Every structure is written in C-alpha cells, then in structure tokens.
Structure 1
Amino acid sequence: MSKNVLVTETVFPDLEPEHRVFEDTGINLIVTDAGSAEEIIDAAEGHDIDALLTATHIPITAAVFEHIDSLEIVSSYGIGVDHIDLDAANDHEVTVTNVPDYSVEEVSTHAVSLLLASVRRIPQYREHVNSGNWDWEAEAPLERLRGKTLGLVAFGKIARRVTEKIEGFDLTVLTYDPYVSDETIEEYGVESVGFEELFARSDLISSHPPLTEETRHLIDADAFSAMKESAIYVNTSRGPVVDESALYDAITNDEIHAAAIDVMEEEPPGDSPLLGLDDVIITPHAAWYSEQSKEELQRKAAEEVVAGLQNGTLRYVVNDSKTKPWASTD
C-alpha cells in the first residue's frame, strides 16, 4: 500500500531531493503552502497522511495530531523542533525527527564571519565608501583581534567547529555549557566557566544553544549588563534565545559595543527597532545556507521519513528533546 507525505509549506525552490529519495518507494508527495496549523489540517482532508515534512514557520499543534490520526512521523527541515508539540506527538505515538548535522560548516563559518565583520567594522566601512568618502579613521578606534577572549554560549557541534576555525587568531576561548563535561571541553583547548563569568571576561560572545524553555531569553538585560562595554555579541542559534528589547537597550545605551545576528524573534522582523542601527549587523536567517547544505537538509529529512515508514533505523528521533542537553541538537 502506498504512503502519503504532506509537505506543509513551500520553503525551497524545488523538491527534487525529496523526489529522488521517494522514487520507487511507493511514497506519494503532497505539497501545500499552509500558513497555519488549521490550513495543514485542511490540506490533509481526504488523504491518509502518514508523515509530515515541515519547516519551523508553522506550529505543529496538538490539533494537528488529533485531526490527522493516520500520522506516524513528523520530519522537521532543520535543527529546531520547538515549533512541534512534542507532548502531543508522544500522546499520539508519532515519531518526531530533525536534521541536526546538516549545516555545521555553514553556521560556524557564518558565526566567524559575523565576528570578524564586527571587529573590523566591514559593513560600516562599506557604507562609508559607497557614500563617497575615503577615510580610514571613520571607524576608529579599532582594536587588534589577537589576544582577545571569545565566549561561546553552549558547546555543541557548531560551537566546536567555531573553535577549530578561529584557532589561528590566537584567542582565549571560554564556554558555558552545563551539559558538556569539562574533559570534552578541554579536548578543544577551551576553558569551562560559569554563565556570568563568561560575559564578564569575554570580548566576543557567540551564542549556540537550541531553543528550549530553558534557553528562551537566556541572553537578557542581566546578561548584557554583565558584558564589557567593548563586547561584541553574535547570535546564529535561534532568535528567541535573545531578548531583543534588552539587546536594543544594550546597544543604544552603549552597554556593549556591537552585535551581529542572523536570527530574530519574529521573522521577517517587521519594524524591529534593531533595524538600521549602525552597530548591529542583521542577516536574514541565512547562516544555514549553501547549495550543499540545502540539498543535504531536504534529502536527510526525506530519508528519515522513508526509514520510519519502511521500518528502518531512524537516526534523529527527538521526541525526548526537551530533556536532552543543549548541545545534543546543536
């Protein structure tokens, strides 16, 4: 008997990787462009939906599990699963999977790029020159990067890759991650410190935890007040890890020097007051992206569906992710 997989929203230019994975499996791909859980339910009407392929934009609520009673698997395009009601998934015996390892190279590179661009004021110099000016002192004073301290909030796959990529810059690297052993952290030449100590000592801070109830607004007004006035803060994890109103206050009140973020609490950000600030770089949730990572993401999410529906071995079951360490999904 054939199986039906519903793609809940259109986020990719095409679904060629999925079609290749599902070829000759007896799995039918049904594509919708839902904007809400209710529209997902409507799209499933008249079909026995065995699995969902879903991005992070639409909440997969308890109502979805209640109405699509044939559902066996929800496969998330990406690392985060905070948009999925995991308790409801457990109640309805639905397996939830993600793709936690598809963009480690891209996100770590993007984080390092944002750090370097902020340290060297690249966007500001670009704007200065494009405005018809030519003055190296326009962004003075700049500090030498060598010898500075980088603090990593969480120490999962991406943060570890960041550590490897900045090795040549001769930085002291600290991390706060209560779920990773000191022995593992020391293997990378990194020092494990307390939460407030990380902010107090670091010149550069980069956030890498997944979004959980524990990490929502983890970087708040108290965190920013603990940072140096010269600190640069970077976030390539999830937007709600940061209290954006606190970040705005920290920048405009000169509590920290600069920030660079790839993810925001609301995406697109609408009329966020962070937009247009000279000391804030914002990129459009692009850290994950390369052509290779996009193909890998689509392919692996589809492969999880095939494995689950054909009684194979699932690699990335996350139904218990709320009790997993921060780094386990990084």
Structure 2
Amino acid sequence: MKDGRHLVWILDDEWNSHELEKSMYNQHGFEVKVTRSDKLEDDMPLYAPCADGVVAQVGFQCRADVIDKLQSCKVISVSGAGYNHVDIEAATQKGIMVSNVPDYCAEEVSNHTLALILTVTRRLASYNRKVREGKWDPLDTMPIHRLSENTVGLLGFGRIARMVAAKLKPFGVRILVHDDFVTEETFNVHGVEPVSLNDLLQQSNILSLHVPLTTETNNLINYERLKMMPRGAFVINTCRGGVINEADLETAIKEGHISGAGLDVLEIEPPSPDHPLLKMDEVFITPHSSYLSEESIDELRTRTTQAVIDGVHGKHLPYALNQVKTETKI
C-alpha cells in the first residue's frame, strides 16, 4: 500500500499503454506503477516493498531476487498462459498467490496451429516466394501429400489441443494423443486415440506440440526423438520454444528426415538475425503471435487485472498456480 491506496506494480516490456488496466484499477481505488526491465533496478526499492499486487507480463523475468523484495504483495498475476518466467516456489515461500490466464487465446492458438499445418504441408511459403520471383510452376515444390492421408500427433491434450483436434476432424486425419495427465474418458469424449510417447512419434506424419515448458519437457523433442518420426514428417510448435532442441531440428531437416516445421515460438525470442532456422526454406516462423487478436488481448488484460483486484481482496482465484497459507499482510 502506498499513501493509503493499494498499489499495483506492472512489470511489462511489451505493451506501451495500460489505459484499460488503469481504468479498472481506478474504479477500485488502486494506484498503478509500470516498470520496464531497463528500469527495474531503479524502481525496485520504490515499489517492491509496498506493492499489494504484481502483474508479470510474459517475458519479463519475475525471479526470486524480485519476489524477495515484495513485502506486502498478496498476488502475482501472470499476463498470459505461460508462467515459466515467474519463480512460483519463491512466491509460495513468501505467501504470494500466483495466477495466470490459461484459456484467453485458445481459439486463436488452435487456429494458428491449423494455419501452420496447412502452410508447411501445402508448402505455401515456397510457392509464394517463387511466384514473387517470377516462377510459375506448381510442380517444383513436391512432394505434397493429401492431408487426409496423414496421422496427426498431439503432444499434450489441454484446452488448445482439444480445440485443434476438433478443427482437424473435418479434414479426415487420424488423430493420436499423448498426455499422461488426461483421463481415458476425456480421450473418448473427444474421439482421439491415446498412445505412448514413442508410439506418437513413430506414427505421426505431423507432430503438434501443446505442453508447458518444464524441466521434463525442456528439449524433449531432440534428435533421437525426431529420428523416431516417419521420414518426411512435419513438426508444429505453438507452445514454448524450449520444448524443441533447435540445433537437432536443423540437423534432422538438413538430413531430409524431417520435411519441415511451422514454429510460432523459439527458445530465445527474438532470435538473432543469423539463427540457422531463419535461413531454411523448410521452416515457417511467426513471431510468437498465435495468441493475438483484438478480442483476445482485451480479454487477457481484463482478466489479468481482475485477478489482481480479487487477489488483493482475498477472493478465490480460479486459476491459481500455487497454494499458500492465508494470512493478513499489513
């Protein structure tokens, strides 16, 4: 609390305007301060000790050194679905709730996943480039296979993957799924085939990734696992870049075992201009934009803000990522 008002500290390198958030906070008597990463050291002693709530924009590192300085904070609201940039263990030890917004962009990401599948399997980027170069030859990008003849493997079967499965069904593809945390009943309801990870890799012509980045999933898709896939397979990633070992993906494509990849995420974003995958015609990359629409952004900002207001007032957070002992902070 600062000057008798609850203080919200927004850590954000992405958005330049926070008028929507400020309007909501002002209605509840909250003061708002925004910090960019290049000003963090200067702002930390000013706002960290008295912040009642913190907004952690995806990509802004909210690590233990920051959390340790939070003396009055009740809630950290992650502005997005991914939360690997927040040290949840450190927050839990400080008695701070952490909440995210996991489903605000499920429609957008599932649509983007399908767009990437169609773009790389139909080789649209190559066609477009060659037409621009004055080449009009539909046969110079073969092989292209009928989509319905493919098996699509979904690694992870949360909200987004379930929407991807529903949208793939009209194409007539076979859909395999691997997710150890989903019940048999859920697989049956969605009409997909649950298989082991090895079976998923060995049978999928198109592998689409839908898992969080954890110690278990970091570099999960490495050279060994890429080589398990059928020759000519494609890899689609709209979850987190670190799930794929990018050097191994480059090697597998150069060897001709993997035909191509559609990536919305990379391990380091933005990538360096000399990143090898940027120079490969077989790889189609978008700038971590699968979440984006006017509607999804408004929903994200509104729900992120509401989570801070509710958390500061001690209300239930439906998407809490941790459990803490309830105690009054002065």
Q: Which band: TM-score by shorter chain?
A: over 0.9
Contact persistence 1:35–1:58 (CA under 8 A)? no
For residues 165 and 149 of structure 2, what CA distance do their matches in structure 1 show? 15
Q: Deviations over 1:151-197 (max 9, x none)?
A: 00000000000011111100100001011012211211100001011
For residues 225 and 66 of structure 1, what CA distance do their matches in structure 2 show? 44
For residues 43 and 249 of structure 2, what CA distance do their matches in structure 1 show? 35
Q: Secondary structure at the match of 2:147?
A: coil
AA matched with 2:296 = S
For residues 58 and 23 of structure 1, what CA distance do their matches in structure 2 show? 24
For residues 23 and 40 of structure 1, what CA distance do their matches in structure 2 show? 21
State yes or no: 1:23 paired with 2:26.
yes
AA matched with 1:139 = T
Aligned 1:62-81 pairs, distance under 5 A: 62-81=64-83
Gaps of 5+ in 2: 324-330
Instruction: State the identity %.
Output: 35
AA matched with 2:7 = N
Show the counterpart of 1:307. Answer: 310
The number of aligned residues is: 319
Show the counterpart of 2:240. Answer: 238
Residue of structure 2 aligned with 1:293, choices 288, 292, 296: 296
AA matched with 1:61 = R
Q: CA deviation at 1:7?
A: 1.0
Q: CA deviation at 1:237?
A: 0.2
Show the counterpart of 2:196. Answer: 194
Q: Secondary structure at the match of 1:286?
A: coil
Q: Secondary structure at the match of 2:153?
A: strand
Q: CA deviation at 1:222?
A: 1.5
Q: CA deviation at 1:118?
A: 0.8
Residue of structure 1 aligned with 2:322, choices 316, 319, 322: 319
Q: CA deviation at 1:125?
A: 0.3
For residues 128 and 287 of structure 2, what CA distance do their matches in structure 1 show? 19
Rate the CA distance shift 1:60–1:72 in 2: closer, same or farther, 3 A.
Answer: same
Contact persistence 1:108–1:159 (CA under 8 A)? yes
State yes or no: 1:86 paired with 2:88.
yes
Gaps of 5+ in 1: 321-330
Q: Deviations over 1:77-100 (max 9, x none)?
A: 111111111111111101111100
Q: CA deviation at 1:147?
A: 2.6
State yes or no: 1:130 paired with 2:135.
no
Residue of structure 1 aligned with 2:13, choices 10, 18, 25: 10
- The two structures, once aligned, show a CA RMSD in angstroms of 1.5
AA matched with 1:2 = R
Q: TM-score, normalised on structure 2? A: 0.93
Rate the CA distance shift 1:158–1:39 in 2: closer, same or farther, 3 A.
Answer: farther
Q: Secondary structure at the match of 1:60?
A: coil
Aligned 1:154-165 pairs, distance under 5 A: 154-165=156-167
Rate the CA distance shift 1:20–1:37 in 2: closer, same or farther, 3 A.
Answer: closer
Q: CA deviation at 1:10?
A: 3.4
